[in-house]
Chain A
Amino acid sequence: MTDTTDAAPPATDGGDPPDGSEFGVGEQNSDGPRIEFRGGKWMSTVPIAFFILWAVFQSGILGVGGADGLVIGALIGTILGMFFVRGSWKAYADTIFEGMTQRVAATAIVAWLWAGMFADTLQVGQFVNGLIFAADALNVGGATFPAAAFILCGLLATGIGTGYGATIAFVTLFFPAGVLLGANPVLLFAAILSGAVFGDNLAPVSDTTIVSAVTQDADIGGVVASRFKYAILAAVPAFVAYLVMGSVLPGTSLEGAAELDAAAAGLVHLVSMGIVIVTAVAGRHIVEAISWGIVVAVAFNLLFGLSSVSDILVFTVSEAGTFTSLPFVAVGETTGVGGSLYTGATGFFPLIVLTLLIVSMAQIMIRGGGFEAIQTFLLDRVATTVRRAELTMVLGTATINGMITINTAAEIAIAPYVARIGEKFNINGYRRANILDANTSALGYIFPWAGGVLVGYQVMVGPDGLGAEYGPEMVVNPIEVVPYVFHGWFLVAIFILAAVTGFGREYIPDRVSEEVSRA
């Protein structure tokens, strides 16, 4: 189907069209290479290539998760690249600063800090316990437990924005309950991972959602609204598949009643979550949207007794004094600041540092000519039509996420290529962001070495894990889970079909993203 546009200028939804100069990119990148490398422009890819190899070795081969280790890989890679520079190293060093000060990184960082505070405040506010109450009230049995887990974990992940956090919470609290009720452990774990994929993909406060939007010049609210169609088309058959397979696959022979730590009041955070989603989709600044979410979540926590003040913010001092009577000052062995606002924000610090380093490595590649060389190869040899360009974006994102299992890091690394390849065919920023994030979210929770699978598995096999508490029936081999992460597989399949058929495709002239500063 082909369309003809109206004569009127494209709507900008009330705001001026995004100005690329806000991001500190584009203008400077149009210059020729400024850094010369021994061995040619391909050597400018050494820092990021080293980082990718490091990430594959750390997360894929050794199974070590977490962004902290990747930071060291990025630092060493950056130092390594310097030895291949011809002439003065000053331009190389300056480019590190140039990359780190790009607006694209700062926008993501600000959104992460706010999202982290909101997510942790929901967690201390017994949101999970509220979801457990819902499952209990709906009288969910062993056969239907996986389907319920998919929906409820999806809700939690959409609220707190972190699929990893939702996976840990659900494997800790929901998984043993389901297995004891007779659900198949493999299917139940896979259903939880599917819920994490759903939330990671759709939540406006998700780190991957934020990265996908800001790297493609699109506002976060608009991105969430535009990807709903793909998410729901994958989620509905996934839900049905969990219902069917829940009846087919047998449960374990564990006996005993599940101890459900349920709290109905925790469900009030569906409102906190809804406020963030509605205000973000309505086009309000993401900082404003999440700030309102934080205010409401804190109010609900205190009003309904879901958490104490010190669960949200606490100063811990070593000795009692004048201020220790205050609800946010406590006496403890180690002094410091704590609470959900603190842990929520600081939890993103490693990822923030990693993002700055990856963006600076990408800038080195741009300045050295390596970025253009790869892009030219892809555009000349692979992405020669819009259909092939979209397939390249889908499969390229899936491949890099299959290798680098900390999915946000993989997403940041592939984002510049998705942007440039898409722009060369005038593919809309919303569409590019959706291709980028769907495959990032899905692949981060399917394979045995994926970060999302590993965090859940760790809960089972850790020193005080489920295996130690309940026995080996409560431990799932990650490789068995692969075929059952239905939502992840369906999401990838839908994007391959969408690239081939043009479903959901939008071009830049069709619709202009709102300002990215309103991200």
Chain B
Amino acid sequence: MSVFDKFLAGWSFRGSRPDYAAGDVLEVMVTGEGDGGHVARIGDSTLRIEGAPEDAINTRIIVDVESWDDSAHTGRATYRKTVGESAF
């Protein structure tokens, strides 16, 4: 990203329920567990993650989005790799 782009980033109104699509590759913070897998809450949308390590909560991981429901703002993704952890 150029210096100019950095200044222009975020000049918009972002919804509380972001949507994604199957095939997206995302970096997300794992925020909880549920239904035998992990969950990343992105705003008020929910991404269920399969295959993440047991201690994945509060880590940042790369996931492949497998499916996404635009009406419910929920999706399903598979774990690819861990890239970081919580700031605290």
Tell me which of B19, B40, B84, B87 contacts A426 (CB under 8 A). B40
In the complex formed, the residue of B with least CB distance to A6 is B24
Tell me which of A104, A217, A416, A507 contacts B42 (CB under 8 A). A507
**Across the interface, which residues of A come within 8 angstroms of B87, CB to CB?**
20, 23, 25-26, 104, 215-217, 416, 419-420, 423, 429
Q: In the complex the two chains form, what is the Cα distance from A20 to B40 in whole Å?
A: 18
Q: Identify the interface centre among A11, A278, A505: most chain B CB within 10 Å of its CB.
A: A505
**Across the interface, which residues of A come within 8 angstroms of B27, CB to CB?**
9-10, 17, 508-509, 512
**Across the interface, which residues of A come within 8 angstroms of B9, CB to CB?**
225-226, 430, 506, 511
**Across the interface, which residues of B come within 8 angstroms of A506, CB to CB?**
9-10, 14
Contact assessment for A20 and B10 in the assembled complex, using a CB-CB cutoff below 8 Å:
no
**Across the interface, which residues of B come within 8 angstroms of A416, CB to CB?**
87-88
Tell me which of A226, A505, A509 contacts B6 (CB under 8 A). A226
Known: A10-B26, A419-B87. A386 touches B44 (CB 8 A): yes
Tell me which of B13, B44, B60 contacts A508 (CB under 8 A). B60
**Across the interface, which residues of A come within 8 angstroms of B59, CB to CB?**
20, 26
Q: In the complex the two chains form, what is the Cα distance from A362 to B44 in whole Å?
A: 29
Quick check: is A88 within 8 A (CB to CB) of the other chain? no
Contact assessment for B28 and A30 in the assembled complex, using a CB-CB cutoff below 8 Å:
no
Produce 1/0 per residue, B24-41, CB < 8 A to A: 111111010000000011
Q: In the complex the two chains form, what is the Cα distance from A19 to B7 in whole Å?
A: 24
Contact assessment for A29 and B15 in the assembled complex, using a CB-CB cutoff below 8 Å:
no
**Across the interface, which residues of B come within 8 angstroms of A427, CB to CB?**
43
**Across the interface, which residues of A come within 8 angstroms of B58, CB to CB?**
26, 29-30, 423
B: contact size bracket: 35 or more
In the complex formed, the residue of B with least CB distance to A507 is B42
Contact assessment for B13 and A19 in the assembled complex, using a CB-CB cutoff below 8 Å:
no
Q: In the complex the two chains form, what is the Cα distance from A420 to B10 in whole Å?
A: 21
Quick check: is A322 within 8 A (CB to CB) of the other chain? no
**Across the interface, which residues of A come within 8 angstroms of B12, CB to CB?**
1, 503-504
In the complex formed, the residue of A with least CB distance to B43 is A386
Number of interface residues of A (CB under 8 A): 64
**Across the interface, which residues of B come within 8 angstroms of A26, CB to CB?**
58-59, 85-88
**Across the interface, which residues of B come within 8 angstroms of A229, CB to CB?**
7, 10-11
Q: In the complex the two chains form, what is the Cα distance from A26 to B30 in whole Å?
A: 13
Contact assessment for B24 and A5 in the assembled complex, using a CB-CB cutoff below 8 Å:
yes
Quick check: is A228 within 8 A (CB to CB) of the other chain? yes
**Across the interface, which residues of B come within 8 angstroms of A362, CB to CB?**
88
Tell me the number of A-to-B contacts counted with CB atoms below 8 Å. Answer: 174
Q: In the complex the two chains form, what is the Cα distance from A9 to B3 in whole Å?
A: 20
**Across the interface, which residues of A come within 8 angstroms of B62, CB to CB?**
9
Contact assessment for A225 and B24 in the assembled complex, using a CB-CB cutoff below 8 Å:
no
Contact assessment for A2 and B18 in the assembled complex, using a CB-CB cutoff below 8 Å:
yes
Contact assessment for A508 and B10 in the assembled complex, using a CB-CB cutoff below 8 Å:
no
Produce 1/0 per residue, A266-306, CB < 8 A to B: 00000000000010011000000000000000000000000
Q: Identify the interface centre among A13, A366, A429: most chain B CB within 10 Å of its CB.
A: A13
**Across the interface, which residues of A come within 8 angstroms of B79, CB to CB?**
none
In the complex formed, the residue of B with least CB distance to A415 is B88
* Closest CB in chain A relative to B12 CB, distance in Å: 7
* Closest CB in chain B relative to A516 CB, distance in Å: 9
Contact assessment for B84 and A19 in the assembled complex, using a CB-CB cutoff below 8 Å:
yes
Quick check: is A255 within 8 A (CB to CB) of the other chain? no
Produce 1/0 per residue, A235-252, CB < 8 A to B: 000000000000000000
Quick check: is A502 within 8 A (CB to CB) of the other chain? yes
In the complex formed, the residue of B with least CB distance to A228 is B7
Contact assessment for A30 and B55 in the assembled complex, using a CB-CB cutoff below 8 Å:
yes
In the complex formed, the residue of B with least CB distance to A501 is B13
**Across the interface, which residues of B come within 8 angstroms of A504, CB to CB?**
10-12, 14
Tell me which of B13, B42, B60 contacts A17 (CB under 8 A). B60
Contact assessment for B6 and A281 in the assembled complex, using a CB-CB cutoff below 8 Å:
yes
Q: In the complex the two chains form, what is the Cα distance from A278 to B7 in whole Å?
A: 12
Among residues 429 to 477 in chain A, which have CB atoms less than 8 Å away from a CB atom of chain B?
A: 429-431
Contact assessment for A2 and B17 in the assembled complex, using a CB-CB cutoff below 8 Å:
yes
Tell me which of A1, A9, A18, A216 contacts B15 (CB under 8 A). A1
* Closest CB in chain B relative to A166 CB, distance in Å: 23
* Closest CB in chain A relative to B5 CB, distance in Å: 9
In the complex formed, the residue of B with least CB distance to A217 is B87
**Across the interface, which residues of B come within 8 angstroms of A430, CB to CB?**
9-10
Among residues 220 to 234 in chain A, which have CB atoms less than 8 Å away from a CB atom of chain B?
A: 221-222, 225-226, 228-229
Contact assessment for A225 and B3 in the assembled complex, using a CB-CB cutoff below 8 Å:
yes
**Across the interface, which residues of A come within 8 angstroms of B19, CB to CB?**
2-4
**Across the interface, which residues of A come within 8 angstroms of B41, CB to CB?**
424-426
Chain B interfacial positions (CB closer than 8 Å to A): 1, 3, 6-7, 9-21, 23-29, 31, 40-44, 55, 57-60, 62, 73, 83-88
Beyond the given pairs A19-B85, A26-B58, 18 more chain A to chain B contacts, judged by CB atoms under 8 angstroms and listed by A's residue number, are: A2-B18, A3-B18, A4-B21, A7-B23, A17-B27, A20-B60, A23-B87, A104-B88, A225-B6, A420-B86, A423-B58, A425-B44, A427-B43, A429-B87, A504-B11, A504-B12, A507-B42, A509-B27
Can you list 18 A-B pairs with a CB-CB distance of less than 8 A? A1-B13, A19-B83, A19-B84, A25-B88, A29-B86, A30-B57, A215-B88, A216-B87, A281-B3, A385-B16, A386-B16, A425-B42, A426-B42, A502-B15, A504-B10, A504-B14, A506-B14, A507-B14
